[in-house]
């Protein structure tokens, strides 16, 4: 009997025992930092001369691991292996495929602290954020396993006298999975196991900043009993291996999460029919965001300020859902800005190995440079009221940075910065606040703080985002509770962790038989 799904609890690090265990896990993982990790193709580990060096963004000197780097030839071998394995994997009983996910979830749960520690090192995530990332990975396995069992017999259709009809879901084929580094475990796991549980086979190209945690998950799938060729692990350059996999005629489905720039490129390439291709490729493309927290004049201002801070600066603003813009009613604007600045003054920035750290580094030098450039732009476009300082001598550290009085059309109000930068604008009435909130090309998440029911109802109809939150922050979607995905240039709105997600990985088939 499978228990009803509920999300993996978050670890409370205020409990002494949990705090100590996390410190021990961070000690323990030192023993496997700096090791070599191979590709996995057709069930075999493959080592290459060329490697990706994964470093700790809080300490550039520390190598998290050396990971083999796939060439086009490796990608070709992986495609062939996945294509071959598909023939038998698609015929596995749906429940057996779901059980494999449940076993992998159980192994992950047993190794949770160690994986959390690895993510702290490789992703630069503070404890709480890293713990939530691993928990979300577990949730995806538990949730999609149950979803597959729900969908295994298809959906009901009518039969007539003398004619029996069935509507079932069948597998598609080889899926190319390309996740980002910012939810290096959760998104990588979710986008890998959804095609697997639906009977497809996978070639996974992890993000080059975080390949070690991805390889750790591949080993978990192996331990759970995944047959050879069903998942193939191919780290490599996005432009070389990524393009090759996307363009390949045997690719049937592409599951991408990342920037708007790369997402639109993949969307475009996937639409071209290549020689030998027998189907139109389907693509799930989830991209960036420029997410807004709106504060109405009669809102709980203390709660709003707390949640603006969390939305903007959790994981240094490196979330697609980060509330990097706050739009405040003019009557309460000064009070909210002042309060958010006060909160910023209490937060510790530093190495996330320390459990007291609120904000760690940004992921790499190019992100650091890009964010610092936006901070310079912000100085021209608004009033710097907090932060602006940075230090990349040891790791890539940037203080939480807050700009007030920014024009709603300014660049720092429009472009995804993907770092710890928050911009404030004001508006005169609620309608105007929502108009400003909608004025970007994205449409991922948004939050409204208001105690006016009419205004909340107005926001339901007019605030055009995939995930709309009332009187809470705009980040932290939970699998099975807040299905996640955005509108407009935020992507195809596939709603990961929701009831419509798995069918995107399958072909519905109608079978009609005369009796
Ligand atoms: P990128 O778009 O830079 O990279 C995402 C993935 O695409 C990586 O694995 C990358 O590989 C790969 N890639 C790069 N170029 C190509 C190519 N030409 N063909 C195929 N694959 C390629 O995004 P980031 O990793 O920097 O992630 C941050 C972005 O992700 C932000 O915009 C954020 O908003 C978005 N995001 C969206 C989410 C959503 O649900 N909507 C959730 C999380 C993040 P490599 O690392 O080797 O370059």
Share of the chain above pLDDT 70, in %: 100
Ligand 1: centre distance to CA 315 (Å): 17
> With a 6 A CB cut-off, is 210 part of the ligand 1 pocket?
no
Residue 304: pLDDT over 90 = yes
Nearest to 474 by CA among 277, 361, 314, 260: 314
In the predicted structure, residue 384 carries a pLDDT above the cut 90: yes
On whether the CB atoms of residues 197 and 145 are closer than 8 A, the answer is: yes
Distance 485 CA to ligand 1 centre (A): 15
Residue with the nearest Cα to atom 25 of ligand 1?
A: 180
Distance 496 CA to ligand 1 centre (A): 16
> Quick one: pLDDT at residue 129?
98
Query: What distance in angstroms lies between residue 260's CA and the mean position of ligand 1's atoms?
Result: 8
CB neighbourhood size of 238 (10 A): 16
Query: With a 6 A CB cut-off, is 434 part of the ligand 1 pocket?
Result: no
User: Is 329 within 8 Å of 430 (Cβ atoms)?
Assistant: yes
Strand 59-68 vs strand 35-37: parallel, antiparallel, or unpaired? Answer: parallel
Distance, CA of 362 to CA of 371 (rounded, Å): 9
242 lines ligand 1 (CB under 6 A): yes
Asked whether 491 lines ligand 1 (CB < 6 A), one says yes
Q: Please give the positions annotated as active site.
A: 286, 320
| pLDDT, position 1 | 82
Residue 315: CB within 6 Å of ligand 1? no
Q: What gap in Å lies between CA 346 and CA 227, rounded to an integer?
A: 50
Point out the ligand 1 atom lying closest to the alpha carbon of residue 181.
25
418 lines ligand 1 (CB under 6 A): yes
Give yes or no for residue 488 CB within 6 A of ligand 1.
Answer: no
Taking only the tens place, the pLDDT of each residue in 438-469 is: 999 999 999 999 999 999 999 999 999 999 99
443 CB near ligand 1 (under 6 Å): no
- Ligand 1 proximity of 237 Cβ (cutoff 6 Å): yes
410 CA from centroid of ligand 1 (Å): 25
Pocket test for ligand 1, best of 124, 240, 258, 321 (most atoms within 8 A of CB): 258
Atom of ligand 1 nearest to the CA of 363: 26
For residue 239, the model assigns a pLDDT of: 87
Buried b (16+ CB within 10 A) or exposed e, 310-327: bbbbbbbbbbbbbbbbbb
pLDDT of residue 427: 97
Query: Smallest Cα–Cα separation from 196: which of 232, 245, 231, 234?
Result: 231
- What pLDDT score does 82 carry? 98
Report d(CA 294, CA 274) in Å as an integer.
46
Write the pLDDT tens digit of every residue in 93-146.
999 999 999 999 999 999 999 999 999 999 999 999 999 999 999 999 999 999
Average pLDDT, the chain: 98
Residue 472 has pLDDT above 90, yes or no: yes
User: Cα–Cα distance between 479 and 203 in angstroms, integer?
Assistant: 23
Where residue 514 falls among pLDDT bands split at 50, 70, 90?
Answer: very high
- Pick the atom of ligand 1 nearest to 269's CA: 19
Q: What is the pLDDT of residues 154-171, one digit of tens each?
A: 999 999 999 999 999 999
Q: Does the beta carbon of 211 sit less than 6 angstroms from any atom of ligand 1?
A: no
| Best of 51, 212, 238 for a ligand 1 pocket test (most atoms within 8 Å of beta carbon) | 238
Residue 311 near residue 344 (C-beta atoms within 8 A): no
Atom of ligand 1 nearest to the CA of 416: 32
**How would DSSP label each residue in 385-434?**
EE---EE-SSS-EE--EEEES--TTSHHHHS---SSEEEEEEESSHHHHH
The pLDDT of 75-104, averaged and rounded, is 98
Distance in Å, CA 256 to ligand 1 centroid: 7
Question: Is residue 239 in contact with ligand 1, taking CB distance under 6 Å?
Answer: yes
Atom of ligand 1 nearest to the CA of 239: 18
Closest atom of ligand 1 to 260 CA is 32
SS3 5: coil
Q: Does the beta carbon of 287 lie inside 6 Å of ligand 1? A: yes
d(CA 501, CA 503): 6
Question: Is the pLDDT assigned to residue 404 strictly greater than 90?
Answer: yes
CA of 132 to the centre of ligand 1 (A): 20
Its pTM stands at 0.98
């Amino acid at each position: 009997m499978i228990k009803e799904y509920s999300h993996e609890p978050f670890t409370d690090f205020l409990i002494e025992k949990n705090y100590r265990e996390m410190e021990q896990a961070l000690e323990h993982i030192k023993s496997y930092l700096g090791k070599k990790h191979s590709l996995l193709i057709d069930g075999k580990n493959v080592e290459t001369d060329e490697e990706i060096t994964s470093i700790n963004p809080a300490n550039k000197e520390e190598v998290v691991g050396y990971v083999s780097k796939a060439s086009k030839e490796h990608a070709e071998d992986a495609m062939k292996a996945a294509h071959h394995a598909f023939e038998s994997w698609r015929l596995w009983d749906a429940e057996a495929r779901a059980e494999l996910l449940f076993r992998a979830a159980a192994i992950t749960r047993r190794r949770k602290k160690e994986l959390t520690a690895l993510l702290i090192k490789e992703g630069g995530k503070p404890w709480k954020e890293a713990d939530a990332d691993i928990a979300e990975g577990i949730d995806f396995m538990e949730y999609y396993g149950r979803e597959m069992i729900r969908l295994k017999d298809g959906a009901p259709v009518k039969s007539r006298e003398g004619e029996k009809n069935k509507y079932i879901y069948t597998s598609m084929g080889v899926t190319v999975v390309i996740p980002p580094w910012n939810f290096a475990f959760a998104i990588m796991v979710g986008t890998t196991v959804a095609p697997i549980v639906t009977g497809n086979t996978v070639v996974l190209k992890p993000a080059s900043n975080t390949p070690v945690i991805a390889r750790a998950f591949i080993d978990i799938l192996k331990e759970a009993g995944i047959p050879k060729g069903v998942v193939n692990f191919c780290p490599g350059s996005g432009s070389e291996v990524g393009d090759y996999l996307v363009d390949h005629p045997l690719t049937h489905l592409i599951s991408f999460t990342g920037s708007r720039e790369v997402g639109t490129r993949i969307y475009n390439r996937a639409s071209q029919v290549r020689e030998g291709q027998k189907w139109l490729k389907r693509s799930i493309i989830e991209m960036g965001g420029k997410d807004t927290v709106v504060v109405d004049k009669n809102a709980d201002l203390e709660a709003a300020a707390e949640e603006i801070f969390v939305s903007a600066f959790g994981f240094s603003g490196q979330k697609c859902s980060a509330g990097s813009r706050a739009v405040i009613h003019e009557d309460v604007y000064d009070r909210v800005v002042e309060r958010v600045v006060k909160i910023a003054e209490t937060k510790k920035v530093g190495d996330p190995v320390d459990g007291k750290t609120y904000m760690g580094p940004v992921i790499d030098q190019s992100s650091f440079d890009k964010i610092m450039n936006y901070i310079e732009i912000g100085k021209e476009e608004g009033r710097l009221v907090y932060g602006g300082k940075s230090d990349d001598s040891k790791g890539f550290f940037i203080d939480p940075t807050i700009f007030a009085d920014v024009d709603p059309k300014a660049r720092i109000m429009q472009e995804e910065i993907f770092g710890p930068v928050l911009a404030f604008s004001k508006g005169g009435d609620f309608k105007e606040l929502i108009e400003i909130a909608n004025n970007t090309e994205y449409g991922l998440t948004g939050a409204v703080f208001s105690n006016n029911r009419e205004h909340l109802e107005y926001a339901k109809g007019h605030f055009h985002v995939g995930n709309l939150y009332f009187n809470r922050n705009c980040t932290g979607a939970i699998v099975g509770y807040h299905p996640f995905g955005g509108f407009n240039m935020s992507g195809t709105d596939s709603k990961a962790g929701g009831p419509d997600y798995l069918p995107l990985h399958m072909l519905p088939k109608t079978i009609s038989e005369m009796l």
